[in-house]
Amino acid sequence: MVPDLIIDVGMHQGQDTDFYLTKGFRVIGIDADIHSIDSAKERFKTYIDTNQFIPLHCAISDVDHETVLFNLSQESIWNSLNVDIANRHASLKDTVSVQSRTLASIFEEYGVPHYCKIDIEGYDDRCLQTLVPLHELPTYISVESECIGEAESISDQDAQRTLDTLHRLGYQRFKLVDQASLAVLTNSNKFYKDSTQLLQKVVRKLQSVRRKQQLYKTVGYGFTPGSSGPFGEWLAGTWSDYKTAKKMLHMHRHDYFSLPQALNYGFWCDWHATF
């Protein structure tokens, strides 16, 4: 394991890459959208010159060195190998050919990182599956809990698949993080509430402001919208075992999908895991 290395899978606009570089880590930033790669080359040129940052243009999948079709959305945060995700609200902009890599082969080439962030819109679990044969894994890892298209739906059991894969890989401790607020969810509080009510909107806004202030005090960095946020011991709260994490996922999913404003693809959380 390379203690100062982070691999950012699904770099997008470089929000998280900037955080990792600011904290002194070496970063491999991966994205299938050449516009994200070109932007990162310009934004992080100083870090590239000192070999602290390496941008990689490829699509992370479950096959290595093949040409695959990658779908670009007008909402670039929805760019995906899954056309149904990229085309939410008829927002598909273009489809391009990109070379694929597996995360396992990236680890073999650059080393196993201290932390790996995975955010690739619907292919996260396939990305994890390629790590099963490896004997060494990142100390910390994060991955989207679920991601589906506008017309799709999944059961609780299917929504549990990413957690199951992390557990199969050997990870024993977990945190579930709401990505819109970067709040670490717990097994006892009702986080998702009806925000159509004016009072609840005000309360959530105040909570969000306080949370961002606390994050800045803890981490010393101001996260912008779309960031995956802090990782590892920078995360608040306590780690949960697999059994507790599974119950927590089901509880929060049920709370979210009971809301009148819930979207079928709107449960937007990351799993963070460690040993």
The tens-digit pLDDT sequence of the chain (275 residues) is 999 999 999 999 999 999 999 999 999 999 999 999 999 999 999 999 999 999 999 999 999 999 999 999 999 999 999 999 999 999 999 999 999 999 999 999 999 999 999 999 999 999 999 999 999 999 999 999 999 999 999 999 999 999 999 999 999 999 999 999 999 999 988 899 886 666 666 666 667 777 778 888 889 999 988 899 999 999 999 999 999 999 999 999 999 999 998 999 999 999 999 99
CATH 3.40.50 fits 2-274, yes or no: yes
Domain boundaries, the chain: 2-274
**Overall pTM surpassing 0.75 (yes/no):** yes
Q: Which tokens in the block code for residue 79?
A: 């760019």
The Cα-based distances of 236 to 175, 215, 226 in angstroms read 9, 9, 19
Q: Which tokens in the block code for residue 155?
A: 């059961």
Helix locations, the chain, DSSP H? 15-22, 34-43, 45-49, 83-86, 103-110, 124-129, 156-159, 161-169, 198-219, 242-257
What pLDDT, on the 0 to 100 scale, is given for residue 200? 64
- Determine the Cα–Cα distance for residues 212 and 178; give it in Å rounded to an integer: 13
Q: What is the three-state SS of 42-79?
A: HHCHHHHHCCCEEEEECEECCCCCCEEEEEEECCHHHC
